[in-house]
Structure 1
Amino acid sequence: MLSILDPLREMNTLSVLLRMVLAMLFGGLIGLERGRKRRPAGFRTYMLVSLGAALTMLLSQYEYFMVTHAWVEMAAETGIRTDVSRFGAQVINGIGFLGAGTILVTGRQEVKGLTTAAGLWASACMGLAIGAGFYECVLLGFALIFLSMRLLPPIETMVVENARNMNIYVEFQSLDDVGQIINRIKSQDVQIYEVDIDRGREGQALHPSAVFTIRLHHKQAHTQVLTAISELESVYTIDEI
């Protein structure tokens, strides 16, 4: 580790201030990308998660310092022991309730919020590293987390668009149209693995829908399959999920 940063690893006012500011700054920057995409957790959420994790680690270090210095006699009499790792472990476990709140399953049987939840968890871990004064790890961790959220989505999109497997959500007029839709899908030289049908709600405007899990026999554009299905008059909505 860099010896020039040793004074900032000590428990002093400047070090504590720097760690809290870094936690807010780096957490906010990571959350900014999520906020631009209108995700459930954005700029302020990531900032608070990172800051809270840093404060937790600072608290654990403070208690350890006091028990081994100012409170050493009282600790010896009462048998107080402080495990500084326990606070961080509780943060990692406790962040689960925030992550669970960002994950949802849409009416199209599509899972959303996994990346946001993972980002919150990683932001909390980064906050713990900041609170511990592990600056080298913080810089590397922040760079990798930020790059994974900013640069990897286009690569992920390219991989998905060229994949042989597809999940297609289709909304149509009535259940009698399912057979026609299946025939149109098969005409695109694909194999249907699974069909999950939602009959809709009686007396409401919600139409029947289905999620088709298919595999392309040869490499072709996903839009070609979607366009072929959308040409059916019975189809109201179609989307790849």
Structure 2
Amino acid sequence: MQFIQTFQLLDFLDTLVSLAVAFVLGTLIGVERQYRLRAAGLRTNVLVAVGAAAFVDLAMRLDGSGGAVRVIAYVVSGIGFLGAGVIIKEGMNVRGLNTAATLWGSAAVGCCAGADMMAQATALTIFVLAGNTLLRPLVNAVNRSPIDERSLEATYYVRLVVDSSVLAGMRDQLTERLEAAQYPVADIEVAERTDRRVDITATLVSTTIDPKELDAVVSSLHREEGVYDATWNVSTTD
């Protein structure tokens, strides 16, 4: 049999060590994900790490380091498709990006183990775990800190709800008052309603603003005849 002729015990033990290391390190990463009830938990991270190690080890056996490099390139792109499956978009919110990045890290750990770079695989595991645990208090602190709108570069929107009879005049006034306050308008959209009311939304050129100045402009527009509502909001999401 071909297997009996080609089987090498030392090579087999080396492969076994690579897979075992990938299994253990993938388990360490997966336990943290499972504890936090993420979509890709313990089993997924272990399978990603072991699978990457198996492919790289196989390429090393068949074609040396050159073959391993080519397989690693495909592993990197392939994990991208797998990570996309755990990313969920809910309205303006996106969930799962960190889990997808962790899967990418697990694949890198597996690749290192498959290439017999055990120390590098262990170090990478420590960094992945540190990113998911030690940085969490810093993230929470940043999220709780107050936001100063004047320090942000974002996209601002000014929205008026007006009577359809004053649409043309209020659209011009909206543009003039914003530009007089040094907030140039990039675009204006008009959306009609069924109750003779019309929405006018002005998108400002991306810049920093003083909330008090924009509040003053909106308040002055709100007092105009035929204006039912006037508000502004900001978006920092691309």
TM-score normalised per structure 2:
0.58
Q: What is the deviation of 1:137?
A: 1.9
Cα 1:139–1:18 shift into 2, 3 Å: closer
Structure 2 residue runs without a partner (length 5+): 1-16, 114-120
Root-mean-square deviation (CA, aligned residues, Å) is: 4.2
1:82-101 superposed matches below 5 A: 84-85=71-72, 86-96=74-84, 98-99=86-87, 101=88
Residue in structure 1 matching 2:108, options 129, 135, 147: 129
Structure 1 gap ranges (5+): 1-8, 33-42, 76-80, 105-111
SS at match of 2:188: strand
C-alpha distance in structure 1 between counterparts of 2:48 and 2:198, whole Å: 50
- Per-residue displacement from partner, 1:31-76 (whole Å, max 9, x unpaired)? x6xxxxxxxxxx422x44x8535412302323565798xxx8xx8x
1:181 maps to which residue?
174
The one-letter amino acid of 1:194's match is: A
**2:53 match:** 61
- CA change 1:190–1:16 in 2 (3 A) is same
- Confirm or deny that 1:213 pairs with 2:207: no
Q: Number of residues paired by the alignment?
A: 194
Q: Distance in 2 between matches of 1:214 and 1:67?
A: 53
Distance of 2:26 and 2:153 partners within structure 1: 47
Larger Rg: 2
Percent identity over the alignment is: 7
How far does the alpha carbon of each residue in 1:77-104 deviate from its partner, in whole angstroms, 9 at most, with x for none? Answer: xxxx8865234431123433544x4275
After superposition, the Cα gap between the structure-2 partners of 1:237 and 1:54, relative to the gap in structure 1 and judged at 3 Å, is farther
> CA 1:240–1:137 in structure 2 vs 1: closer, same or farther (change >3 Å)?
same
User: For residues 172 and 66 of structure 1, what CA distance do their matches in structure 2 show?
Assistant: 65
Matching of residue 239 in structure 1 with residue 233 in structure 2: yes
The residue that corresponds to 1:143 in the other structure is 130
